[in-house]
């Protein structure tokens, strides 16, 4: 995983799901936590290499690849976890992700693997408004529901961490859009064709 500086005191660790780091005077907050303990360990390594102490984790949405590393980070550092109410509910009971993918019935084992079933993590603070100050770091929290029910984006100065609200074409080509129905409208037209193989 590669660490890239975006602006002063702001970095991204590029990986399967990007992870943000925002620092202030030796402390930092982390945005999203990757899929599992291995990613959590890598995040911690990168943060320590920057000489920072992690104080908080903001989870953009409760898909396993965005919060699976949280359990490890909390245990290792005691950082405080921030998420919106619905996403926090899934984080506290991660079986909900494979459960809703299987229409509420007992999900088969194939859906209970680490891409879809993370270790649980309780949120300490529920994100409600559009402004939050974590330590000395002021953030704007923007609603980005769609990909996930209460996904949010995190804006700080010139940087916007958007969770999975935007997916690049090669990811869409690989996975498609997870719907069995054609989606209409200018915002989706082109991608629908790509994902369903039919004009939408």
- Contacts with Zn ion by CB under 5 A lie at 63, 164
Cα angle 136, 137, 142; round to 5: 145
Sign of CA dihedral 61, 66, 69, 73: negative
Q: What is the number of other CB atoms lying within 10 angstroms of the CB of residue 76?
A: 14
Beta-sheet pairing, 137-143 with 152-156? antiparallel
Kindly tell me which of 150 and 164 has the beta carbon lying closer to Zn ion.
164
Q: How far is the CB of 151 from Zn ion (least distance, A)?
A: 7
Q: How far is the CB of 67 from Zn ion (least distance, A)?
A: 10
Residue with tokens 């007992």: 106
Kindly tell me which of 63 and 71 has the beta carbon lying closer to Zn ion.
63
Q: How far is the CB of 65 from Zn ion (least distance, A)?
A: 7
Q: How far is the CB of 122 from Zn ion (least distance, A)?
A: 20
Q: How far is the CB of 136 from Zn ion (least distance, A)?
A: 29
Beta-sheet pairing, 27-31 with 53-58? parallel
Kindly tell me which of 118 and 137 has the beta carbon lying closer to Zn ion.
118
Kindly tell me which of 26 and 169 has the beta carbon lying closer to Zn ion.
169
Whole-angstrom Cα distance, residue 75 to residue 121? 10
Kindly tell me which of 63 and 119 has the beta carbon lying closer to Zn ion.
63
Nearest Cα residue to 34 out of 11, 60, 10: 60
């Amino acid at each position: 995983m590669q660490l890239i500086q975006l602006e002063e005191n702001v970095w991204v660790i590029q990986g399967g799901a990007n992870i943000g780091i925002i620092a202030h005077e030796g402390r930092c907050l982390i945005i999203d936590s990757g899929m599992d303990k291995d990613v959590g360990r890598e995040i911690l390594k990168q943060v320590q290499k920057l000489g920072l102490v992690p104080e908080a984790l903001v989870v953009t949405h409760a898909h396993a690849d965005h919060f699976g590393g949280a359990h490890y980070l909390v245990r290792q550092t005691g950082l405080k976890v921030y998420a919106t109410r619905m996403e926090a509910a899934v984080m506290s009971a991660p079986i909900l992700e494979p459960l809703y993918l299987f229409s509420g019935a007992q999900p088969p084992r194939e859906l209970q693997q680490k891409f879809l079933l993370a270790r649980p993590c309780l949120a300490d603070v529920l994100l409600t408004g559009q402004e939050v100050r974590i330590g000395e770091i002021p953030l704007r929290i923007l609603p980005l529901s769609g990909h996930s029910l209460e996904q949010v984006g995190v804006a700080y100065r010139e940087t916007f961490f958007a969770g999975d609200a935007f997916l690049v074409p090669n990811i869409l080509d690989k996975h498609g859009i997870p719907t069995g129905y054609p989606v209409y409208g200018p915002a989706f037209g082109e991608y629908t064709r790509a994902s369903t193989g039919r004009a939408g």
